[in-house]
Homo-oligomer: A and B are copies of this chain.
């Protein structure tokens, strides 16, 4: 089964396909832009994005939104993660945290699926810590500074580990299970 995935980020499509392979699903990138609503909840961003693209193409589609929520920064950058990454990068996050002891963070991913019956959202999350410096070359975005709970390496140091346990993996698992069951 092929599923359209509206995103400008090919890495997200690859990560979706690692999961999709186990379900006979192929996620196919659709470069259809959509306005991201300014909501602090990634679920709402994914929901509205999927609805927008569906209304435009009139075919079932998914949109995925991810946020990195850092406890000591009141949840910053949250659902504004992509914008903030473009402006400040990982160095900006490390500077903001400085020597602060509380490095707790959570990645949350939401997959919104819209078809003629409406929208459904599937979430996945992973808790972890912000590293004291960037480590690793894999992945993208904040991966070089995120160490998932129970791990010693960042997502960027061990992309295979990321593929297995990430927030996005979990959200795609939930979505994939559901879509093949209906």
| Cβ 8 A contact of A96, one of B37, B83, B92 | B92
Q: Is the CB of B95 within 8 A of A88?
A: no
Task: Tell me the interface secondary structure of chain A in the complex.
Answer: mixed
Q: Does A2 contact B (CB under 8 A)?
A: no
Copies of this chain assembled into the complex? 2
When each residue 90-120 of chain A gets 1 if its CB lies under 8 Å from chain B and 0 otherwise, what string results? 0010011010000000000000000000000
A76 to B77, CA, bound (A): 12
Kindly state the interface size class of chain A when it binds its partner. 20 to 34
Check A84 for interface membership: any CB of B closer than 8 A. yes
A112-143, CB < 8 A from B: none
Q: Which residues on B sit within 8 Å (CB–CB) of A80? A: 80, 83-84
A98 and chain B: residue at smallest CB distance: B95
* Residue in contact with A73 in the complex, picked from B38, B40, B88, CB distance below 8 Å: B88
14 contacts between A and B (CB under 8 A): A35-B37, A35-B38, A35-B39, A37-B37, A37-B38, A38-B38, A73-B92, A74-B86, A75-B87, A78-B87, A80-B83, A80-B84, A92-B96, A95-B95
